[in-house]
Structure 1
Amino acid sequence: MEPQNSNNQNHHAIFLPLSLQGHINPAVHFSHKLASSKNFTITFLTFEFLHQQLTQARPDGCSTDIFSRARDGPDGLDIRYRAVSDGLPMEFDRTGQLEEFLMWYLDGGMFDQVAKGVEEIVLDSRPKVDVLIIDTFYPWASKIAKMFGLRLASFWTEPALVFNMYYHVHLLKQHGHFDCPDTRKDPIDYIPGVQSIEPHNLPSYIQDKDISTNMHKLIFQAYQDVRSADFVLCNTVQELESDTISALQAVMPFYTVGPIIPSRSLENVMSTSLWVESNCSEWLGSKPNGSVLYVSFGSLANFTNDDVMEIAYGLMESNVDFVWVLRPRTVLHGDDHVLPVGFEEGISGRGLVVPWTNQIAILSHPAVGGFLTHCGWNSVLESIQYEIPMLCFPVFTDQFTNRKLVVDDWKVGINLGNEKPLRRMQIASEIKKFMSKKTEDGLRENIIVLKKILGNALEADGSSSKNLDLFIEQLN
């Protein structure tokens, strides 16, 4: 798997993403960017259970790795691939038994396996490995880097505002907005680089009353560990979050290198999907431009049966054409057949429900005029890239903070509703209003401005390009 010309490379990075769809995608495409334009050797490290899932999702069933075509193609990119065990049986349900999985994650079982994999790469590889690029949510990242004398680049896949809130969680606690018996509800105006933020716009793990879970332990341990990183590489753009980013850059080596968004052509070279993708192009091709609402709540969010029912009836009552990605295990411990009786007949001709699809292919299709989204960060960036307004329904983690950026700061989306649970007629009413030409046109004007900002950042003299060059210069 190692090209003959690998000794001509300047730097060799081991890249370990978090094993979730929203973290894998930017990691894969950033690896490709480093290898193709910055003369890096990349060894992409992943887990065997994840490799199996990626392989099973490919339409050809081929077991070659994500980067085989990029490596074997005309550019001959030096991107190597290594899958290691996470120490658990392949059949272990890492989603359904999340608390047990996180305990393994925290107590050193996964660390031991990763350390062993990194050691093998460091000992066996030429050119010499000099940097570990690793997802911020690995709480033992600095320990791995120190063990093998590597520079540590923490890879942050969410906006800088979310990083900033976690980084200053001690201030939230001091002021009574976090981890207090009677948590304050007034606006927060003391975080460096943040003029003001409402508590309901904080990441969900900071809003939670019970912070004793393994997930909370993992997050807060990771945020102590990231303070030891030599670099933080963030998938955002300086001009989008300038005050927050400047505040972070004053206290740590924080580099914005986004947006990390794959092109359609690159997606054809590197398939990163964890599930088999349904092709919706023929159905979309039968619809007028801008008429279809795309509905997806990402790869991780779970709902109750009642939530799914209300969304289904809301879509049916809206009379708007839609594509709805209803992922397997959307209702985590329930039946996959969660749609109401008669739903498919009720939406015949104007609604399409699929288990998973290629989001870039949907958002770039001219028939699509809006996106009912959970506000995952990749989805936000991709919506801006393809000029699709957002109807926002955050579910957990960073999505509430992302929604603040989308709705309040940038005005490229609107809220589906602030009160939960949502009811079907409210959903139908909001969808109708959102998909009206007047609303769409107003939001799209702002999106066009943001899209230009994203594009400019990636130009040779743009902020993200300069930051990436500065990161590489600091490695030398």
Structure 2
Amino acid sequence: MERWPHVVAIAFPAQGHVGPLLKLSCQIARQGIRVTFVSTASVHARMLQASGDGDCCCWGEIERATVLEGMEEVKDMGDKEEVAETRAKVMSRHFQELLREMNSSRDERVTCVVADATIGWAFEVANSMGIKRAMFWPTAVPGLVLSLSIPRLTEAGMIDDCGSASKDTAIQLSPELPAVKATDLLWRCPGDQLRQAIIFGYCMTVNRTVRISNWLLCNSFYELDRATCVLIPELLPVGPLTSADGLGSFWAEDLTCLNWLDLQPPKSVIYAAFGSIAAFSQNQFEELALGLELSGRPFLWVVRSDFTNEDEIRYPDGFSERVSDRAKIVSWAPQEKVLAHPSVSCFVTHCGWNSTMEGISSGVPFLCWPYFADQFYNRSYICDTLKVGLELEAGEAEIVVSRHKIQAQLERLLSDAQIKENAEMLRGMAKRSVSEGGSSSTNVRHFVEQLKRCSEAGP
């Protein structure tokens, strides 16, 4: 009897992790692979609600399954360590039960688990059940090399057991890559040592995960990360993982901003969006608002309901009236469509990797304002390596980034012809990589062909 490959994909339950893996799942499914995407019940509910009609019509042929997250067992939701430990324990147990149920029919057995690199327990479960494993690295590829280097770096005394390093530390991963500064460590969370310790713990598990994985996949493309791919020859870049239909969004998209963009002149609009987690103090929020106003340009600004540390969003006095003829403010935007719109001139961003790949794919210059973790490294990558953006940060004696600095950096970015040229060059490279015969397109096809051979071979 003919056996069909069945892939089960599972991501860490956060917007930045779910989105890219779901997009990869769609690519795999389009090539004749049965795919079941597993999320927590709470994440699944959020995606259904965000779709607006009670169902995710954009999922196509992908099947869905849920596992419990265990948050009802957490005594203190403010205890990040307890939350992380409970989530891993409960999700691991329910994921194993789900795989056993799927494998109860011999003809429908799971061929491979594709899982986020941050959930090492998923690989342990699959390994214990004799199921093939594909690790998906959702952020910048040099971060994978850095994670794999943790034992060596700790032994050499370059980082301590908590992942901290002296401020003058520079980690040279290879002669072809710029040194990683202490301020750019993948797990760095300024002012939140507990969160940093948790993320560092995830990174330390990557060595084991890589060792027991049959495939290593990442959201990048070979031409962008050639020097890093040389260090991990088995790595298969399959990005940029993009989708214009809001796939995997936790928030309902305000599509009216697209009509507004249609009315703006070409390359005129500043797009400002800071992802799903970043939050500003009220003071910093007001400086950003006033900086956008001082730019004198039209701007589209994504302001989540939880974007500040206040109970409600409060704009500077008179701000809304003063910018009403050239500003559009929404709670969530169809970002890929926005970035690809001809009226957009630049992207003010927190430098999450998904946003970075989306911006590169659309050829827009970046104004980089990272919040935590890998975003600091991504900023350096964008500004110093790729040279498609400028950074924005407070000086040593400053508490906030001032409105005047925001205005000045925007003017500098938008007048830099070389940055615009570099951004356009990267856009072409990204487009070719996912086109028929391109590097990422070929890697996805290669992965699918291997899955089919594994299925034909049987257990």
Normalising by structure 1, report the TM-score. 0.85
Distance 1:338 1:99 in 2: 32
Aligned to 1:339: 315
Q: In structure 1, what residue type is equivalent to 2:124?
A: K
* 1:387 is the counterpart of 2:368: no
1:213-228 to structure 2, matched below 5 A, reads 213-228=197-212
Aligned to 2:292: 315
Distance 2:381 2:327 in 1: 30
> Which SS does the other structure have where 2:103 is aligned?
helix
Q: 1:426 aligns with which of 397, 405, 424?
A: 405
Distance 1:229 1:390 in 2: 35
1:42-441 to structure 2, matched below 5 A, reads 42-60=35-53, 62=54, 64-65=55-56, 70-71=60-61, 79-89=62-72, 98-106=80-88, 108-124=89-105, 126-179=107-160, 183=166, 185-191=168-174, 194-205=177-188, 210=193, 213-249=197-233, 253-262=234-243, 264=244, 267=245, 271-279=247-255, 280-331=257-308, 334-417=310-393, 419=395, 421-435=400-414, 438-439=415-416, 441=417
Deviation at 1:474, TM superposition (A): 4.2
> Which SS does the other structure have where 2:384 is aligned?
helix
Deviation at 1:9, TM superposition (A): 6.6
* Structure 2 segments unaligned to the other structure (5+ residues): 454-459
How large is the RMSD of aligned CA atoms in angstroms?
2.8
Q: 2:22 aligns with which of 24, 28, 31?
A: 28
Deviation track 1:54-89 (CA, whole Å, cap 9, x = no partner) reads 1222222x2x34555x23xxxxxxx21112222334
Distance 2:71 2:187 in 1: 28
The answer (yes or no) to whether the contact 1:142–1:226 under 8 Å persists in 2 is: no
Could you say if the C-alpha distance between residues 210 and 24 of structure 1 is closer, same or farther in structure 2, counting changes exceeding 3 Å?
closer
The answer (yes or no) to whether the contact 2:165–2:182 under 8 Å persists in 1 is: no
Q: In structure 2, what residue type is equivalent to 1:238?
A: Y
Deviation at 1:235, TM superposition (A): 0.9
Distance 1:227 1:459 in 2: 31
Distance 1:316 1:218 in 2: 40
Distance 1:174 1:46 in 2: 37
Deviation track 1:288-339 (CA, whole Å, cap 9, x = no partner) reads 11111000011122222222122122212222211111112123x5313232
Q: In structure 2, what residue type is equivalent to 1:56?
A: Q
Could you say if the C-alpha distance between residues 214 and 459 of structure 1 is closer, same or farther in structure 2, counting changes exceeding 3 Å?
closer
The answer (yes or no) to whether the contact 1:11–1:129 under 8 Å persists in 2 is: yes
Distance 1:16 1:336 in 2: 34
> Which SS does the other structure have where 1:205 is aligned?
coil
Deviation at 1:140, TM superposition (A): 0.9
Distance 1:58 1:97 in 2: 31
Deviation track 1:205-224 (CA, whole Å, cap 9, x = no partner) reads 38889467434333323454
The answer (yes or no) to whether the contact 2:302–2:329 under 8 Å persists in 1 is: yes
Distance 1:454 1:365 in 2: 17
Deviation track 1:330-377 (CA, whole Å, cap 9, x = no partner) reads 23x531323223221232212222111110121122211111011111
Could you say if the C-alpha distance between residues 414 and 345 of structure 1 is closer, same or farther in structure 2, counting changes exceeding 3 Å?
same
Deviation at 1:470, TM superposition (A): 3.5
Normalising by structure 2, report the TM-score. 0.88
> Which SS does the other structure have where 1:352 is aligned?
strand
> Which SS does the other structure have where 1:316 is aligned?
helix
The answer (yes or no) to whether the contact 1:142–1:152 under 8 Å persists in 2 is: yes
Deviation track 1:123-142 (CA, whole Å, cap 9, x = no partner) reads 25843211000111102122
Q: In structure 2, what residue type is equivalent to 1:22?
A: G
Distance 1:466 1:373 in 2: 30
Deviation at 1:14, TM superposition (A): 0.4
Deviation track 1:205-252 (CA, whole Å, cap 9, x = no partner) reads 388894674343333234543332121111111121111111122xxx
Could you say if the C-alpha distance between residues 161 and 434 of structure 1 is closer, same or farther in structure 2, counting changes exceeding 3 Å?
same
The answer (yes or no) to whether the contact 2:254–2:330 under 8 Å persists in 1 is: yes
